[in-house]
Structure 1
């Protein structure tokens, strides 16, 4: 087969096939007497495996998996695949922790700060915690107070009050500071609890899609490995 014959099935260009060949994504290719590349069904399966792997692993990792497979280093290929599943599991657990933290929050919204921002003592008194606790939360990135230009004192506005209220509830629920900081950062990025709920739903969809892509890639790679064993 010619490069265009492999390319046609996937809507690729012949040059893309040659590039994949040169990158080691495809197994070694024989040449005709005139120097043209000659592909076989083995190359067809290799290309299918790479394109399927790329959807779940990304281009670079899929390339590394195929290179390792083609040089007979299946141990390295399996390690790369296992690492992707470990990373996906860690992300899935993070998503679950964020969702659990969101569910543990009180439905009441703290009253906004009107007028001037609160001082560290005023916020501590409002929450019933020690001022040193607020400073520790700041060190972890949970709170981000601004500083008064004249005095250098910390000033806590409505956003800080919201984050402090959430931190207090999560700490009462037994969450370590590192986890509280991760949740607050997710909340900031999403734009608030309601937006975070929608974000969590889309996050679940992305995790599910990637899991399916990893499974599909593994199936195609298995078919390619089976064919390699027969050659």
Structure 2
């Protein structure tokens, strides 16, 4: 259970706000949404905070770069409800997603190394994959794959018997590359020339630069998770 939040040292909303470059309204909003523990009140009804609230605010702001605002908020709410198991589960999910991103990036790099030896497209309907299974593998909707097709980023054939879209090995490679670049924040119009370069197996600098940038993003997120974990651990110690 959390200790008594009322202590000899009382802080005003403006004290917390100034310490983190926030507005006092932001501090109040964080409290009302459960990111901070409930504030005390003076006899006249004004909010009062303690160093524990300041520690909670620091933990939340440190969690955001690594986990995102929504997950960081959910982590703090779980801690403040004394359901630390839920907070740890959310943290584990973020780490699992980061590991998946690293593995996907490695897969893209392997695909790059194999570009010059990529096999020719197979005949439609033979050895390919349909839109549903491919979308499920990538964790996207089939409509997203169709959107990428309209943008020229993937070029599935049609099964001659059913008329369904069929993605051969090259199409799957392109879809994976598009998916990875989209995760890295690139727009479809930015990805199109990269995919064109890949298909031509020449001028790979744009894709290599994108992968270097994504490497940097993944590393920065991993480091941010470490920083957030340290601040959260400090908050948990103070609550105990």
TM (norm. structure 1) is: 0.70
C-alpha change, 1:129 and 1:225, in structure 2 (3 Å) is: closer
- What's the CA shift string for 1:169-206, capped at 9, x where partnerless? xxxxxxxx856642466588362442211111111011
Of structures 1 and 2, the larger Rg is shown by 1
- What's the CA shift string for 1:102-135, capped at 9, x where partnerless? 0122189xxxxxxxxxxxxxxxxx959545548x
- What's the CA shift string for 1:133-188, capped at 9, x where partnerless? 48x36866753469xxxxxxxxxxxxxxxx98x83xxxxxxxxx856642466588
Residue of 207, 222, 238 corresponding to 1:211: 222
What residue number does 1:27 align with?
A: 37
User: Aligned-pair RMSD on alpha carbons?
Assistant: 3.1
CA contact (8 A) 1:137 1:143 kept: no
Matches within 5 A, 1:5-84: 5-84=15-94
C-alpha separation between the residues in 2 aligned to 1:55 and 1:217? 8
C-alpha separation between the residues in 2 aligned to 1:128 and 1:36? 70
C-alpha change, 1:127 and 1:213, in structure 2 (3 Å) is: closer
C-alpha change, 1:23 and 1:186, in structure 2 (3 Å) is: closer
C-alpha change, 1:79 and 1:12, in structure 2 (3 Å) is: same
What residue number does 2:212 align with?
A: 201
C-alpha separation between the residues in 1 aligned to 2:71 and 2:84? 14
Q: CA deviation at 1:50?
A: 0.4
Q: CA deviation at 1:18?
A: 0.7
What residue number does 2:155 align with?
A: 143
C-alpha change, 1:36 and 1:132, in structure 2 (3 Å) is: closer
C-alpha separation between the residues in 1 aligned to 2:225 and 2:155? 38
CA contact (8 A) 1:3 1:37 kept: yes
C-alpha change, 1:228 and 1:200, in structure 2 (3 Å) is: same
Classify the secondary structure of the residue corresponding to 1:35. coil
C-alpha separation between the residues in 1 aligned to 2:155 and 2:111? 17
Classify the secondary structure of the residue corresponding to 2:155. coil
What residue number does 1:119 align with?
A: none
C-alpha change, 1:73 and 1:132, in structure 2 (3 Å) is: closer
C-alpha change, 1:46 and 1:133, in structure 2 (3 Å) is: same
Residue segments in structure 2 that go unaligned for 5+ positions in a row:
1-10, 135-144, 146-153, 159-166, 182-187, 199-203
C-alpha separation between the residues in 1 aligned to 2:33 and 2:121? 62
Figure out how many residues of one structure are paired with residues of the other and give that number: 186
What residue number does 1:89 align with?
A: 99
